[in-house]
Amino acid sequence: MPVQKVLVVGGGITGSVLCLALAQRGVEVELVEISPQWYGVGHGITLQGNALKALRSVGVLDRVLARAVPFDIMRLRRADGSLITELATPHTGGPELPSTAGALRSDLQDALCDAVRAHGVTVRLGLSVERLAQSPGHVDVTFSDGTAGRYDLLVGADGINSATRALIGLTQRPRPVGMSIFRVVADRPAEMDCAEVYYGGPRFKAGYSPISPDQCYAYLLDENLDPSLIGPRAPLALLRERGAGYGGTWGGLLAALPDDTAVDYRWIEAVLVDEPWYRGRAAVVGDAAHACPPLIAQGAAMCMEDAVLLAELVTGEEPLEKALEHFMSRRLPRVRMVLENSLRLADWEIHPGTPGADPARIMSETLRNLTAAA
């Protein structure tokens, strides 16, 4: 086995799944997370079948599905709520798993945090990597508290604004796509049984997904507004103003939001490291290597697939260099396809009326392509 001791930087979904996949294969794993607290936070998340497959492989799927809402269709609607079409979504994780599940992000992260600790991973909070020095057999790391460690492999799973990416000499940085997103968690209406998307309104689109027996996740895609709004407490009045003009269930959700509703507002960014995601014995995965607009709901799935495959390959029989080469050859074409198709969808929504635009076709084709093994 080419690695016996691994440092994972970043305790989000990618880093947590990677820790579990490595620990289950007998690797000594240490996780450092820059936040002083480590628990589930955030809004809703859509988990396609291939994401569910990854969660099953690390043993947390049953706990996640206990509160999540599985479904196998998606509906496209006009801004007034009238139905355009209903799509059967491909089972990207295999026929035995739901094609999609909506979940509360905090439920998912809590399940991962508990499992990571239960598997004996050393978790260090409020800590980051300041320096690293590589040799042929190991990587030496100095942390922000002055302590140091020696590892067979360092993996940065620290998100789209990854500090590890720059630390190991990768220069790509995220760029704005040209659209932003408002997100809220709301009470789930009785009629909501799957994800639905509303097209043709005053903004790029609106939508929602059930995420628990009594909650749903709703969003509005808009142009980029004043960057001072970015954060977890954007004005609800602004969301109501920008979301006016959508009817159906979405319009009802918006009208019923309590005045103290937490509104998360972000500019959507994308990044792709289109060269090897590693330098020697240091690598980046997940959003640190590739992040796409959430238009096909494959961001989390791509990250989890990275984590599971990397753990499998670096604990196999090949030398680490060969294992990392094989990891890249399998992952880069797949994530590039998802990213390029997500960006195409974003461009069509930013520029309505583009000749040949067919969002339903692109989404369906992408998901069908992902039914092949990661």
Last residue of a domain, one of 268, 289, 318: 268
Last residue of a domain, one of 239, 268, 297: 268
Both 245 and 283 in one domain: the answer is no
CA 139 from chain centre, in angstroms, equals: 28
Both 146 and 262 in one domain: the answer is no
Angle 161-54-36 (CA atoms, 0-180°, nearest 5)? 40
Stated as kind and residue range, the H or E segment containing 64 is helix 61-67
**C-alpha–C-alpha distance, residues 227 and 368, integer Å:** 36
What is the CATH classification number for the domain harbouring 323?
3.50.50.60
Both 211 and 187 in one domain: the answer is yes
Are 290 and 260 in contact, with CB atoms under 8 Å apart? no
Both 115 and 11 in one domain: the answer is yes
Both 215 and 134 in one domain: the answer is no
Give every CB contact of residue 146 below 8 A, 6+ residues apart in sequence: none
Q: How many residues does the chain have?
A: 374
What is the mean pLDDT for each group of 10 consecutive residues in the chain (374 residues)?
Answer: 94 97 98 90 90 98 96 95 93 95 95 97 97 95 97 98 96 96 96 94 95 95 97 96 96 96 96 96 98 94 98 97 97 97 94 88 90 84
Both 42 and 63 in one domain: the answer is yes
Both 229 and 240 in one domain: the answer is yes
The answer to whether residue 85 is domain-embedded is: no
DSSP 285-327: -GGGTEE--TTSS-HHHHHHHHHHHHHHHHTSSS-HHHHHHHH
Both 280 and 136 in one domain: the answer is yes
Query: Tell me, what's the pLDDT at 97?
Result: 97
Query: Tell me, what's the pLDDT at 246?
Result: 96
Last residue of a domain, one of 210, 245, 268: 268
Going by the DSSP 8-state scheme, the letter that residue 270 receives in this structure is: E
Query: Tell me, what's the pLDDT at 363?
Result: 86
- Tokens linked to 179: 């659209």
Q: What is the pTM of this model?
A: 0.96
**C-alpha–C-alpha distance, residues 106 and 140, integer Å:** 33
Both 49 and 118 in one domain: the answer is yes
The answer to whether residue 92 is domain-embedded is: no
The answer to whether residue 14 is domain-embedded is: yes
**C-alpha–C-alpha distance, residues 105 and 168, integer Å:** 30
Task: Show the domain range for 224.
Answer: 177-268
The answer to whether residue 319 is domain-embedded is: yes
Both 341 and 282 in one domain: the answer is yes
The CA–CA distances, whole Å, from 130 to 18, 62, 152 equal 22, 37, 18
From the number of C-beta atoms within 10 Å of its C-beta (0-12, 13-18, 19+), residue 83 rates as exposed
Going by the DSSP 8-state scheme, the letter that residue 334 receives in this structure is: H
Both 354 and 215 in one domain: the answer is no
Residue type, 349: E
Query: Tell me, what's the pLDDT at 43?
Result: 85
- Strand 175-187 vs strand 153-156: parallel, antiparallel, or unpaired? unpaired
Query: Tell me, what's the pLDDT at 332?
Result: 97
- Tokens linked to 107: 């439920």
Query: Tell me, what's the pLDDT at 1?
Result: 75
The answer to whether residue 91 is domain-embedded is: no
The answer to whether residue 64 is domain-embedded is: yes
The answer to whether residue 327 is domain-embedded is: yes
Number of domains in the chain: 2
**DSSP E strands: which ranges in the chain?**
5-9, 28-33, 44-48, 69-71, 73-78, 83-88, 100-104, 122-125, 129-135, 138-143, 148-151, 153-156, 175-187, 195-199, 205-210, 215-222, 264-272, 278-279, 282-284, 290-291
Query: Tell me, what's the pLDDT at 301?
Result: 97
Are 289 and 282 in contact, with CB atoms under 8 Å apart? no
The answer to whether residue 326 is domain-embedded is: yes
Both 121 and 249 in one domain: the answer is no
